[in-house]
Amino acid sequence: METPKKIDDNISMKTRIIALVDCDSFFVSCEQADNPKLKNTPTCVISGVNGCVVSRSKEAKQTGVRMGMPMFMARKEFPDVNYIVADHDKYHSYSKKVMNCLKDYSPDIEIVSVDEAYIDLTGTQKLFKKNYIEIVKDIRQTILEKTDIPVSIGLSHSKILAKLASDKAKKTGGIFKIGKNDIESVLEKTEIEEICGIGRANALTLKRNGIMLASEFVKKGDIWLKSQLGVNGVELKHELLGECVSKVDGRYEPPKSIQSTSVIGEGTFSDNIDIIKMEISKHIHSACARLRYHRGKCKSVGLLLRRKDFVTLCEKKILLKPTDFELTVQRAINEILPKIYQEKVLYRSTGVFLENLSFEGEQLSLFTTEEDEKERNLSKCIENIEKRFGKNSIRTGF
C-alpha cells in the first residue's frame, strides 16, 4: 500500500482564492476596441498580408473560418469577413491597460501571457465588503469599462483549478467558480487532456494506465504519480484537489525558450504538405508574438514534426543574428522543412521553437507609467515592415 504522505513540503493546505483573468479573442477584441465599427461583425486578425488567421470574432467563428487558415484560402471561402493584419504593439498596449486594472484588486498578480493573468484574491472579501463572485464580477466590469476588452474569469483555490474554471467561463457567460464542494463533480467531467500542464506524453502514459478523467487521476497515490510523472504530477494532483501548491508569483522571469506545438487538426493525421505548412505558419506567428511580447530576440529556430508512429523529427538552424522578425524565422523554417519532411508519411503534430533568447534593452515590466509609454521608442511595427515587403512583392509564408 502506498502511504499518502506529502512529497513536497511546499504543499500547503492553506486555502487561497485565485482567479484567472483571460481576455476573449484578444487580438480581435483589441481591434474592435480600437474601431467600434468592427463590433458584432465577422472579423479575423491575420499574422501578415499573406499570413494566416490567428484570432477570430464570435461571428467569424460562426461563419466557419478556421484558426490557422491561410489568407488566400480564407478570403476566397469567406469574402465577407474583415481581415486585419496583426499589430502587436497595439495588443501590447491594451494588455498593459488590462493588467493595470487588476492591480486595484490585489498586489499578487502573475502575468502568464499577453492576454492572461492570475490574481490572488485571498482576503480581499473583507477589504471590498463583497463576496469573491461579486469581486470578480467587478473586475470584469471594470476591465470592460476602462479598456473595452471582454474577459472571462475562472475562480477557484489553485491555479490549475482557476484555469479549468476560466475555460468553462468562456462557455457560461464569462464567470465560473469551482468551490471546494464543486471540485469532485468538476473533476468527474474533466478529461485529463483538458488539464493545463499535463502534456501530451503524460496524458498518454496516464491513459495507458486506464486514467481518463481528472477524478481518476487525483485518486492515485503520490508515490505512483511521482514515479510516472515526476514531482510535477504530484503537485498537479494537489492543485486539482484545491490546494494552492504553485503560488501566484509576480516576479518576472524571461522564458528560456519559446515553443508552439499542437496536434494537426483535431488529432487527425495528415501527410498533406499544405496542411502541415499551415500548421507551421500558425506556430511561427504565435511563437514570434510571444517573443516580441517579452521584448526578446532569438538566435536559433527549430522545427519539429511528429509522425503518426511517434517518431519525432527535429532540426534546428542558427541564425546570422538575433531576431524577433517573423519573416526571418519563416525563411529559416522554410530551409529546415524539406530536410525533415518525408512524403507519404502521416504526421500527428507539428511545432516551432525559438531558442538562444536574448532580452536586451527594455525588459517586460508589469506596470508602466504613461511616461514609460512615451519614452518607449520601438523599432517599426511588424505590420509596417510587412506592408513594405508586401509592396515589394516579397511573400511571407512558404
Catalogue the active-site residues.
116
- Cβ-contact 276, 333 below 8 angstroms: no
- 380 Cβ contact list (under 8 Å, min separation 6): none
Give the Cα separation of 138 and 129 in Å (integer): 12
First and final C-alpha spacing in the chain = 56
Helix (H/G/I), strand (E/B), else coil: 75: helix
For β-strands 53-56 and 109-113, DSSP reports them as unpaired
Closest CB to Mg ion among residues 23, 280: 23
The residues in 221-250 that bind Mg ion, with binding defined as CB under 5 A, are none
- Cβ-contact 222, 233 below 8 angstroms: no
The residues in 333-362 that bind Mg ion, with binding defined as CB under 5 A, are none
CB of 170 to Mg ion, least distance (A): 8
> Considering only 21-29, 89-97, 128-136, 311-319, which stretch makes contact with Mg ion by CB under 5 A?
21-29
Closest CB to Mg ion among residues 115, 239: 115
Q: Grid coordinates representing 324?
A: 524577433
Closest CB to Mg ion among residues 152, 323: 152
> Considering only 23-31, 170-178, 241-249, 375-383, which stretch makes contact with Mg ion by CB under 5 A?
23-31
Helix (H/G/I), strand (E/B), else coil: 342: coil
Paired residues of 156 in beta bridges: 18
Give the Cα separation of 254 and 364 in Å (integer): 8
> Considering only 18-26, 56-64, 229-237, 259-267, which stretch makes contact with Mg ion by CB under 5 A?
18-26
The residue whose grid cell reads 507519404 is 344
Q: Report the residue from 22, 59, 120, 279 that binds Mg ion according to the rule CB under 5 A.
A: 22
Closest CB to Mg ion among residues 22, 120: 22
* Number of Cβ atoms within 10 Å of the Cβ of 240: 23
CB of 116 to Mg ion, least distance (A): 6
The residues in 87-126 that bind Mg ion, with binding defined as CB under 5 A, are 115
- Cβ-contact 8, 48 below 8 angstroms: no
CB of 6 to Mg ion, least distance (A): 34
CB of 250 to Mg ion, least distance (A): 20
Closest of 276, 352, 338, 353 to residue 308, by C-alpha: 276
CB of 301 to Mg ion, least distance (A): 25
Q: Grid coordinates representing 331?
A: 525563411
From residue 72, alpha-carbon distances to 35, 46, 83, 372 in Å are 24, 11, 11, 39
> Considering only 20-28, 304-312, 326-334, 351-359, which stretch makes contact with Mg ion by CB under 5 A?
20-28
User: Total binding residues for Mg ion by CB under 5 A?
Assistant: 3
| Torsion on CA atoms 30, 22, 190, 178, rounded to nearest 10 | -140
Closest CB to Mg ion among residues 25, 158: 25
> Considering only 15-23, 44-52, 173-181, 346-354, which stretch makes contact with Mg ion by CB under 5 A?
15-23
For β-strands 82-85 and 43-46, DSSP reports them as parallel
- Cβ-contact 161, 239 below 8 angstroms: yes
CB of 28 to Mg ion, least distance (A): 10
Closest CB to Mg ion among residues 136, 234: 136
> Counting contacts by CB under 5 A, is residue 286 touching Mg ion?
no
CB of 65 to Mg ion, least distance (A): 17
- Cβ-contact 328, 263 below 8 angstroms: no
Closest CB to Mg ion among residues 154, 296: 154
Residues near Mg ion, by CB under 5 A: 22-23, 115
